[in-house]
Structure 1
Amino acid sequence: MTSRQKKVWAISVWVVLHAILLSIGLWTPWKVDSNLYSVLPDAAEFKNVSEAENALSARSARNLTVLLGHESFDEAKAAAESLDSAFVSDSALAETRLKVDESTMQQMRDFFFEYRYVLQGHDVRALLKNDDAASIRELALQKVYGAFSLADLTRLQEDPFLLGAESFDYFTFHSPMMAGRFSLRDGVLAAEDSSVVYVMWSAALAEGTSSMASDGHVLQRLDCVLDSLQGVHKGLRVEKSGVPFHSYESSKNAQSEVAWISGVSVVAILLLLLWVFRSPLPIVCTLASISVAVCAALSGTWAIFGSIHVFTFVFGTSVIGVSIDYAIHFFTERHNIFKGLLLGFMTTELSYVALTFAQFPLLRQMAVFSIIGLASSFATIMLLFPNLPLPVRQDSLPTRLPGKFLAVYESLDRIVARRFAKVALLVVAIVALVPGILQLDIHTDMRSLYAMSDSLKRSESLNARLNNLGVSANYLIVEGESVEELLQNEERLAQRLEGAKADSLVSGYLATSAYIPSIATQRETFGGVQKLFRSSAYTELLADLKLDSASAASSDRLAGGDMGLAPTYLTPDSKLPGSFNSIIDMLWIGKVGDRFYSAVFPLHVASGFDVQKVAEGMPGVFAVSKMENVNATLTVLSRLALLLVGAAYLVVVIVLALVYGFRQAIKVIRAPVIACLFIAAAFGYFGISFNFFAIVGVILTLGIGIDYTLFFKEGGSRNMKTTLAVMLSAATTLFSFGTLSFSSFVPVSTFGLSVLLGILCCFLLSPLSRR
């Protein structure tokens, strides 16, 4: 086979493989996963509840609230009405909520009257269970004759025990949802705080509307409308609350910062490469190889996993860094680089292959993304680049600065030529690094990675104060094979929460079964009511109220059982009044797969409350401490990733030992290993948590840093082109990733700082491996 045939064959193979990957990427539906639960291992518990929790989170994460405050209620209401009219027909919002129908309270009264025989509060149910008809009779008399009673007596003939009124009071006025300061005023919900009257306007994003910042986003338009309203209504206060506002603000700030930082670094890199190569062709080819590698990695990952997690994008930046390095070395040296590139490619791939053995789907996905991307980059440079008509003359490359750089190391070689000097230098390095490493905190806390703005912090505080609901971040998901089993599981859980309430660990809880009991409980309530109407207390009550016994008995024939009629039982699918339905919508998840799910939220929890203990030993009940679970798992994930990469480096040592010998292999890997120890020590000294994003930077340092030492090893002691290539590679990496350390977005800055420290240290140590 001639050299020309070999080139044609190589290019054909490259084209076919990338065409297959591109086709897969185009045919496979794109799905980006941002769910934090995806980082968790495939434990049975999370399999059972994660989909239900995702459905609940997706629903609650779309809700937003705007409080418009003014010293004048009329001004606040007018502003709220203007806001509502601006967005009531907006397709980006599923609904808007401002006006409260004045007939709502009557609808609630009618509803509780209709279901009075099956729907009663905890106290009345206890009296019915104990056959304490006399106490129920006394409650009715107090409502009729009490000085401060607000009971509706228009249906007294039909409901002499006022069970409808009792049920209405329990589920309305004594509900945890009514603990706040908001009340119905002139058709809107309003509350007063420090002489300012706030009117509530709320909405929900449509299912297809992302809360990530973008041009023309509905939240951007909302901000514009609110700004104009503040101009019209002087003194108007605007407070925003809800997950969409946090997501929008953080993503907007991150995009703005990263775009600005990346723009500056890209311009600097392009100018640097243009100055070195004196031609735009190497730059265009480098960018093309990076684009192809990223597309190949995306297509391959989608084909294997069906989706790609946002964390994979962060980890996958190693593809960009290594692709730039490979391209730079090709254009600076061009000849005799195959061995160095191949060893660099193999050692980096070994690190990522090791990560595929982890029992974490996310870590495997990250590894696969990097493996495919690096393979594509390597293939592009080895198979296509040699066929390019390159105008760059090797003798025109600037070598003065590399010469001065190497002269420093030649002087250093003379200083530490004696054995005792090398030992002393090693001891100094150890003494400097060990204390910092011992102070290292390998821990990921997602809460510390997001800093809420002062305005949102103030708004959330005000909203929590006015609503006074106190929903805990840790809650419970309840499961059942049927709706009835689920509600009965909830009721057993409620008994434990009542115990926690008695111990002052919670002030209360929100549960579907507290509003819509199981059919078994409704039957028990109905049976108690039947006994009530057959008791002597019923006859005595009719006499006390001076009611016609014949008429009353006829109206209550259902409860008395005289006609053998069956009651109508409530279920979560029953038609409910608006305000009652909004509570159930917040708690009831419904059918997911072949099972039914709901959420139970403890309220105003004390420090001693442990949601895990509450769920312990209860079938069908799962504690959801999402942030704690994610934090713990990311911490374990980080440590496991380090261990697996460490194991991979042992294999790398074996491979390099077979090529160079053991002593030379240690010389090659010592720079990236020391660089990683330097990162850890620096984080320890600065008191920065060595979190998941910092460890991603460590792995990137190991993957890129070993290439520097390999190229010096292959290039020789005075190879200026090798030195220039490594200097350019380090500069581009520091510009593209290290500058991210200046971001105020904590995950980005942590990752950038880790790469900055690691690559800088590795670059400074890598010339020590030259021959």
Structure 2
Amino acid sequence: MRRLALLWLLLVALVAGHNLWLWTGDRLQLDTDVLAMLPQDQRDPAVQQATRRLADAATRRIVVLVGADDWADARRAGDAYAAVLASARLPLALQYRVSDRMADDWLSFFAPYRQALLSARQAERLASRSPQALADDAVAALYRPVGMPRLGPWIEDPLNLYGDWLTERAADSRVRPADGRLSLQVDGRAHAVLMLEQQGPAFSISAQQALMPWLERAAQAAQQAAPGVRVLSAGVPLHAAAAASQAEREVHTIGFGSLAGIILLTVFAFSALRPRVLVTLAIGVGLLAAISVTAALFGRLHLLTLVFGASLVGVAENYGTNYFAGRLGQPPASRWRMVREQAPVMGLALLTTLIGYLALALTPFPGLKQMAVFSAVGLLASFLTVMLWFPFLERGYMSVTPLSAAIGRARRYWPRVGRNRATLLLALLLAGLLLGGGWRLQANDDIRLLQSSPATLIEQQLAISRLLDLPSPAQFYLVRGATPDQVLAREEALKARLDALVGARWIRGYQAVSDWVPSAARQRASVALLRRTLDGDGGVIALATQRLGETPAAARTAGPVPLMTLARWLAAPVSEPLRPLWLGRLDGGYASVIMLRGVDSPDRLPRLAALADGLPGVRWVDKVAEVSSVLSRYRQIMGGVILASYLLVLAALWRRFGRKAWRALLPTALASLLTLAVLALFGQPLQLFNVLALLLILGMGVDYGIFLQEQPDPDAGAPFLSVTLGAACTLLSFGLLALSHTPALRAFGLTMLLGIGLAWLLAPMFCSGPARQKERTP
């Protein structure tokens, strides 16, 4: 034992050193992409890169609207808001003031290409109307007192096509310059528009803690400058800050509360704090070993693996409490004998738990394999720590405390399942509960159910999206091609179909790079159409000048017209708001996205998806449906893994308990089924996080059955004390997560609370008899 303990000490020291090397040098890569947990052949790199580009463009931006009944109040309040942020000296870029030069630069960029810029609506108008009718329009426009702004001489553009094209482009945004500021006029109210962009990481907690107080001060300053104004804010950093603040509150309440409860329970049960320290040591060693092995095998560690695996190592709580429950009232010298006696039953408990995780490792999902390896290694390391170190680390006498004695005696009064009327009534009650819950059980993997941001923040986000008519980042079209120009041409083919939906008011509009940079073929066709329509003896210019009684104008220059290129547009400041739409080189080619406005109902998504059919290089992407599908697939696979694990665990128990093996496993199975039934009766949908908790319930609950079935005598208090303390610590550790405001944690905690509580309640009922019995299979 001493040699084994020293060998294990050496291995743990190596693991600790490896962890120090990983964490101090930023060598451990934490992956946060949920879809990274999918098999490689089920993930489209282009879709993932498109999503990541759009997300990167949004994660640092905050939009603030300062609204009032008139523009003067909104402008004054907006100035006060901007002044507070300017004095903060934060790494924050503020876009609020605009200059006339910015507008001139915007117009001057497109001017050289004006003859090559025609929208689809303008091209249809020129092709469908006669030159005489167009000439009448050109003459009428001269006498119209109010019209669209004209840029350049009338003789060069009698139909004002260039001004019309620019006006159509400007309609993509409701924001307009006013008095040198960004403004928004909608719903009878004026708004000052402030665009903020963090210069550092969007999810930096320190950056959030520094930013949020200044945003609150700025809002207060705006309201003081013009009473009655309303300040709306939206952006990913705000949601991240709210999540961090919520997590901090829950750590203080749930985390510290559960820790205090566990410590008090341990002290009252064992009259010492040493058992809690040693059990924590065993869990800590398990975590270190799990991180090292997983990082070595996979090269990186997914954040979900770390969170889920860390909770699964909590199963090691059962090993430590079982050890100390057996030490109560026993002389120190008996600890070696006790370890030898406990080794088979604790080894069986470890084996039955590992079976579930090894089954998980056989799935084709790399994320589930990572979880399985992490949990299995952590549990094995915790088990070895208990068996090899605890006899050396504690050598004193542990007296039986009043609490531990009372818990041990309580087993005597527990009802037993048998051939009696009470058992029949209990069976009928459980059957009715299971049937009722099964009838109402429904699965819902919609990722939106996991939304945990404050309601006020969501309301402001929706209000700003409506006021600014922003496109949805959750659904978009991914357009790919071998060259940039081919991507633009394929965008134009898709836009021809989208225009029909816009005309039918199915959607309000879309955003595309080709709106600003037409393909080369479209630009050449526009130049040819303009020359064919405007120039020549029968062209619009000649007919209009004749009607005005003027000398026919000389023909326009017939030389080559410069074409706008995507590279020039991307390099110019005018492209800055729309650059996230262009993905650039992607998967051996080039790609862009087209985003939609006005997708207000999920019922419209199937038709939008069908719109991409038959268009080469065009794919519909619905991130909400895709992530929800991932969660659904995980849930189904995990359900199958749990069923297979139950069968393998039953086979392992059979070797130890023979025909009475079902008595050790059935309480956990019933507890899991009853948990699902109760959740269903209360209207809780079945989600992935419920199923993940069921796997943990199997790993813990079957230990209760094993410990009690190993010593079925009601007078044997140590097993029931171990089971009760383990269940209590588990409920304090994980069951209190049911109080969390984070939907995923709440679902996980509520399932654990019901499942572990029911497993502890049912396990003593199925003990085989007053004497220890062993049956061997033939």
Give the TM-score taking structure 1 as reference length.
0.89
Give, in whole Å, the separation in 2 of the partners of 1:319 and 1:654. 23
Does structure 2 conserve the Cα–Cα contact (< 8 Å) formed by 1:712 and 1:769? no
Paired amino acid for 2:107: R
Aligned twin of 1:115: 113
Does structure 2 conserve the Cα–Cα contact (< 8 Å) formed by 1:277 and 1:397? no
Give, in whole Å, the separation in 1 of the partners of 2:294 and 2:221. 46
Q: Please list, as runs of the form range in 1=range in 2, the aligned pairs for 1:695-710 lying within 5 A after superposition.
A: 695-710=691-706
Select between 56-65 and 34-43 the one with higher mean Cα deviation.
Answer: 34-43
Paired amino acid for 2:108: D
Corresponding position: 1:612 with 2:609: yes
Of 254, 264, 278, the residue aligned with 2:257 is 264
Of 189, 199, 206, the residue aligned with 2:199 is 206
Does structure 2 conserve the Cα–Cα contact (< 8 Å) formed by 1:293 and 1:376? yes
Select between 346-355 and 60-69 the one with higher mean Cα deviation.
Answer: 60-69
Give, in whole Å, the separation in 1 of the partners of 2:151 and 2:57. 40
CA deviation string 1:567-601 (max 9, x = no partner):
232315426765x4244224222223533221112
Query: Gaps (5+ residues) in structure 1?
Result: none
Corresponding position: 1:340 with 2:333: no
Aligned twin of 2:381: 376
Does structure 1 conserve the Cα–Cα contact (< 8 Å) formed by 2:66 and 2:232? yes
Q: What SS is found at the alignment partner of 2:518? A: coil
Paired amino acid for 2:270: F
Q: What SS is found at the alignment partner of 1:390? A: coil
Corresponding position: 1:601 with 2:604: no
Aligned twin of 1:570: 565
Pairwise CA distance, 1:316: 2.0
Corresponding position: 1:278 with 2:271: yes
Paired amino acid for 1:405: A
Corresponding position: 1:524 with 2:534: no
Q: Please list, as runs of the form range in 1=range in 2, the aligned pairs for 1:178-577 lying within 5 A after superposition.
A: 180=174, 182-192=175-185, 196-206=189-199, 208-210=201-203, 216-231=209-224, 233-333=226-326, 335=338, 336-393=341-398, 395=400, 398-409=403-414, 412-413=415-416, 417-418=418-419, 422-423=423-424, 425-450=426-451, 452-469=453-470, 471=472, 473-532=474-533, 534-536=535-537, 537=539, 538-543=541-546, 553=555, 556-557=556-557, 560-561=558-559, 565=560, 567-571=562-566, 573-574=568-569
With over 3 angstroms needed to count, the CA separation of the structure-2 counterparts of 1:510 and 1:153, relative to structure 1, is closer
Pairwise CA distance, 1:678: 1.0
Give the TM-score taking structure 2 as reference length.
0.89
Q: Please list, as runs of the form range in 1=range in 2, the aligned pairs for 1:674-689 lying within 5 A after superposition.
A: 674-689=670-685
CA deviation string 1:673-731 (max 9, x = no partner):
11100111111111101111111221111111111111112244232222212111111
With over 3 angstroms needed to count, the CA separation of the structure-2 counterparts of 1:331 and 1:447, relative to structure 1, is same
Paired amino acid for 1:524: A
Of 709, 729, 732, the residue aligned with 1:732 is 729
Q: What SS is found at the alignment partner of 2:116? A: coil
Aligned twin of 1:625: 622
Of 43, 55, 58, the residue aligned with 2:56 is 58
Give, in whole Å, the separation in 1 of the partners of 2:199 and 2:551. 55
Select between 489-498 and 90-99 the one with higher mean Cα deviation.
Answer: 90-99
Select between 129-138 and 529-538 the one with higher mean Cα deviation.
Answer: 129-138
Paired amino acid for 2:246: N
Give, in whole Å, the separation in 2 of the partners of 1:10 and 1:452. 45
Pairwise CA distance, 1:221: 3.2
With over 3 angstroms needed to count, the CA separation of the structure-2 counterparts of 1:114 and 1:142, relative to structure 1, is farther
With over 3 angstroms needed to count, the CA separation of the structure-2 counterparts of 1:327 and 1:573, relative to structure 1, is farther
Q: What SS is found at the alignment partner of 1:150? A: coil
With over 3 angstroms needed to count, the CA separation of the structure-2 counterparts of 1:91 and 1:528, relative to structure 1, is farther
Q: What SS is found at the alignment partner of 2:115? A: coil
Does structure 2 conserve the Cα–Cα contact (< 8 Å) formed by 1:127 and 1:135? no
Paired amino acid for 1:101: S
CA deviation string 1:84-142 (max 9, x = no partner):
34445978656321112234443343333321111111122235556954455444434
Does structure 2 conserve the Cα–Cα contact (< 8 Å) formed by 1:25 and 1:298? no
Paired amino acid for 2:543: E
Does structure 2 conserve the Cα–Cα contact (< 8 Å) formed by 1:191 and 1:198? yes
Corresponding position: 1:714 with 2:707: no
Paired amino acid for 2:562: P
Give, in whole Å, the separation in 2 of the partners of 1:304 and 1:226. 50
Does structure 2 conserve the Cα–Cα contact (< 8 Å) formed by 1:712 and 1:722? yes
Of 575, 590, 614, the residue aligned with 1:581 is 575
With over 3 angstroms needed to count, the CA separation of the structure-2 counterparts of 1:398 and 1:453, relative to structure 1, is closer
Does structure 2 conserve the Cα–Cα contact (< 8 Å) formed by 1:151 and 1:165? yes
Pairwise CA distance, 1:433: 1.6
Does structure 2 conserve the Cα–Cα contact (< 8 Å) formed by 1:279 and 1:391? no
Give, in whole Å, the separation in 2 of the partners of 1:609 and 1:434. 36
Does structure 2 conserve the Cα–Cα contact (< 8 Å) formed by 1:355 and 1:364? yes
Does structure 2 conserve the Cα–Cα contact (< 8 Å) formed by 1:213 and 1:248? no
Give, in whole Å, the separation in 1 of the partners of 2:187 and 2:149. 33
Select between 644-653 and 150-159 the one with higher mean Cα deviation.
Answer: 150-159
CA deviation string 1:431-460 (max 9, x = no partner):
222221231112222212225534324423
Of 623, 643, 668, the residue aligned with 1:672 is 668
Does structure 2 conserve the Cα–Cα contact (< 8 Å) formed by 1:282 and 1:331? yes
CA deviation string 1:458-481 (max 9, x = no partner):
423432342234647422111222
Select between 215-224 and 665-674 the one with higher mean Cα deviation.
Answer: 215-224
Pairwise CA distance, 1:212: 5.6
Q: Please list, as runs of the form range in 1=range in 2, the aligned pairs for 1:78-157 lying within 5 A after superposition.
A: 78-87=76-85, 93=91, 95-127=93-125, 133-134=131-132, 136-152=134-150, 154-156=152-154
Pairwise CA distance, 1:382: 2.2
Does structure 2 conserve the Cα–Cα contact (< 8 Å) formed by 1:270 and 1:283? yes
Select between 277-286 and 267-276 the one with higher mean Cα deviation.
Answer: 277-286
Pairwise CA distance, 1:229: 4.5
CA deviation string 1:26-55 (max 9, x = no partner):
566333333343354434563331122111
Does structure 1 conserve the Cα–Cα contact (< 8 Å) formed by 2:437 and 2:677? yes
Q: What SS is found at the alignment partner of 1:351? A: helix
Does structure 2 conserve the Cα–Cα contact (< 8 Å) formed by 1:92 and 1:209? no
Does structure 1 conserve the Cα–Cα contact (< 8 Å) formed by 2:81 and 2:221? no
Query: How many residues end up aligned between the 2 structures?
Result: 750
Tell me the C-alpha RMSD between the 2 structures.
3.0
Give, in whole Å, the separation in 2 of the partners of 1:125 and 1:48. 33
Aligned twin of 2:776: none
Does structure 2 conserve the Cα–Cα contact (< 8 Å) formed by 1:294 and 1:319? no
Give, in whole Å, the separation in 2 of the partners of 1:147 and 1:357. 76
Percent identity over the alignment is 26
